Amino acid sequence: MKNRSAIEIYDTTLRDGTQGEKITLSVQDKLLIAEKLDDFGVDYIEGGWPSSNPKDEEFFRRALDLQLKNAKLCAFGSTARKPDAIEKDPNLTGLLNSETPVITIFGKTWKAHSSLGLGLEDEENAELIFRSVEYLKSKGRTVIFDAEHFFDGYKDNPAFALKMLLAAEQAGAARLVLCDTNGGSMPKEVYDIVREILDKTVVPIGIHSHNDGDLAVANSLAALRAGASHVQGTINGIGERCGNANLISIIPNVILKLNGRFHHKLNLKQLTSLSNSVYELLNFPPDNRAPFVGKSAFAHKGGIHVSAVLKESSLYEHIDPKTVGNRQRVLVSELAGQSNIRYKAKELGIELPDNGDLFKKIVQSVKKLEHQGFQFDVAEASFELLLRHELGQFRPFFEVLESKVHIESGKNREPLDQAILKIEVNNEIEMTAADGDGPVNALDKALRKVLRGFYPAIRTIKLVDYKVRVLEEKKGTSAKVRVLIETSDGHSTWSTVGVSTNIIDASLQALSDSMNYYLFNTEKVTPAPLHAETE
């Protein structure tokens, strides 16, 4: 990196990030995220645009009570609307009323936006930028100037874009941030332009990239390599359209790949936790395929890969996953080999005997079942039961002898779904029935109803996710389906799978595995001997 000075992190998750589709944060959510960002060590937290909505105004009022240790809170807004009405401009007044130590304002640096959008002459736009920055600085605030559409503007008319940038610098802006607002620039363009601007300005230069070309992280890194010392982005890359530059990817790349350093010492081991906690507050599932922090980032499926990873992880991992708070995972599938089975057994705390024939049997069983449509890399509870069964450590706690589902519907009548089960436990045969909201819900209720009498602990678990996938689409309604179920006892969750041409049967398989897995892992519960085994 040409830039050897400490790099500032400017987080705009709470403002630019919330402009993304389906992204909403309450005031309390924003306060919690602000505290997490401060603990992690970012330098600036952009809280919102106080003049745009009541929620942001409330956030800034309540944020005054935050005891920030590392970060400075920023309010965001635009330049004034008219050069001759700076002190009465409602936007600037709202920014000052937020009482933040730092204010970020954006101004037009693409001539087309200035002349066509605002109807301003070049000198008028430069004056608007100059006087807005000067006024805010005169009120004792640190001012950051975001040069909106800078790269497009500079490529179109370099003289105009530079003139606007220098107007902000001459007025006292502390940082000049070059924005790739449309997200269409290329890394080489960004690198070259940043280098040119650094030769023509004095104050530190920053980068603000959008991801419309899937290059926001690459463009941010290019700018930092060119000498920028301030980087803006969001956690998990959330934001308008295709999102903003993802700080979760930028930060480890700077530290681990570019040998750069940030202003505050960051604990990279908190990176995965930070990413997941923001997803949680957004009520979004984490992105399993996210670089560095995703569940799949260090997951290995092919047997040859796993064999190599067990010998030396760097052969198939670009960093140690623990560095960013993640972990290595080995998946079990039709691509599995003995190395996968050994790794997974160790991860599950299962001691395997040194028996090559047994390994081959387990591998072949897994491959056969996956060929039928089972998927164990996302149903580890079902895999553990399979493995323990092969080792003679598990037998089912119950056996479903018969199942029937009754469905009624018609015009002017309420739908009725009822499940009837005949189950054997402890040499006893029980029959039960339950109504439900759909046949699978009825099955779930009936199964729980009969098992509660034998295993009261079953009351504590609940189904939290249910997915169905058609495996052979060309066969239409006769196709096999795969059912994935996620269950929780309030402390942990586990996933199970079932496959059949009958969705009810597939669901019952997954439900039965789910109950058996819980009972197997619950203390002081032993499997009930089935009638067939006692004869």
Residues 264, 314 share a domain: no
Residues 307, 278 share a domain: no
Q: Please tell me the distance from the alpha carbon of residue 248 to that of residue 293, in angstroms, as a whole number.
A: 8
Confirm if 257 and 291 have CB atoms less than 8 A apart: no
Confirm if 67 and 120 have CB atoms less than 8 A apart: no
- How many structural domains are present in the chain? 3
Question: Alpha helices of 106-239 — where are they, by DSSP H?
Answer: 111-112, 122-138, 150-156, 158-171, 187-198, 216-226
Residues 434, 473 share a domain: yes
- Print the domain residue range for 150: 8-282
Question: What is the per-residue burial (b if ≥16 Cβ within 10 Å, else e) of 63-97?
Answer: beeeeeebbbbbbbbbbbeebeebeebebbebbbe
Residues 124, 99 share a domain: yes
Residues 439, 359 share a domain: no
For tokens 């040194």, name the residue: 354
- Give the DSSP per-residue string, 65-125: T---SS-EEEEEEEPPS-GGGSTT-HHHHHHHHTT-SEEEEEEE-SHHIIIIIS---HHHH
Element (H, E) at 274: helix 271-282
In a domain, residue 292? The reply is no
Q: Please tell me the distance from the alpha carbon of residue 283 to that of residue 279, in angstroms, as a whole number.
A: 6
Confirm if 339 and 310 have CB atoms less than 8 A apart: yes
SS (H, E, C) 220-242: HHHHHHHCCCEEEEEHHHCCCCC
Residues 103, 22 share a domain: yes
From first to last of its 535 residues, the chain has per-residue pLDDT tens of 655 689 999 999 999 999 999 999 999 999 999 999 999 999 999 999 997 888 999 999 999 999 999 999 999 999 998 878 899 999 999 999 999 999 999 999 999 888 877 788 899 999 999 999 999 999 999 999 999 999 999 999 999 999 999 999 999 999 999 999 999 999 999 999 999 999 999 999 999 999 999 999 999 999 999 999 999 999 999 999 999 999 999 999 999 999 999 999 999 999 998 998 898 888 787 898 999 999 888 877 655 555 566 666 667 778 988 999 888 766 555 445 566 677 667 777 888 777 777 777 777 777 778 777 777 766 889 988 988 888 888 889 999 999 898 887 766 667 788 999 999 998 899 899 999 888 888 999 999 999 998 999 888 898 888 888 887 666 766 788 889 898 998 888 898 999 998 889 999 999 999 999 999 988 555 555 554 343 3
Q: What's at 448, amino acid-wise? A: R
In a domain, residue 337? The reply is yes
Domain boundary among 221, 248, 282: 282
pTM over cut 0.75: no
Q: How far apart are the first and last CA of the chain?
A: 75
In a domain, residue 443? The reply is yes
CATH number of domain containing 252? 3.20.20.70
Residues 310, 228 share a domain: no
Domain boundary among 230, 255, 282: 282
The total number of residues written for the chain in this structure: 535
DSSP SS3 for 421: strand
Residues 277, 303 share a domain: no
Burial (CB count within 10 angstroms: exposed 0-12, middle 13-18, buried 19+), residue 189: middle
Name all contacts of 468-473 with Cβ < 8 Å and 24+ positions apart.
468/503, 468/506, 471/373, 471/499
For tokens 């449509």, name the residue: 373
In the prediction, which pLDDT does 531 show? 47
Domain boundary among 224, 255, 282: 282
Confirm if 81 and 131 have CB atoms less than 8 A apart: no
CATH number of domain containing 436? 3.30.160.270
Alpha carbon of residue 485 to chain centroid: 21
In the prediction, which pLDDT does 534 show? 36
Residues 354, 216 share a domain: no
Token output for 75: 């309010």
Q: If you ran DSSP here, which 8-state letter would residue 257 be given?
A: I
In a domain, residue 499? The reply is yes
Residues 431, 362 share a domain: no
In a domain, residue 378? The reply is no
Residues 329, 239 share a domain: no
Confirm if 142 and 102 have CB atoms less than 8 A apart: yes
In a domain, residue 438? The reply is yes
In a domain, residue 246? The reply is yes
In the prediction, which pLDDT does 313 show? 65
In a domain, residue 213? The reply is yes
Residues 159, 31 share a domain: yes
Token output for 173: 């802006």
What are the Cα distances from residue 522, in Å, to 458, 526, 528? 10, 9, 14
Neighbours of 476 (CB within 10 A): 8
Q: How large is the angle between the packed helices 122-138 and 158-171, nearest 10 degrees?
A: 20
Q: What's at 283, amino acid-wise? A: N
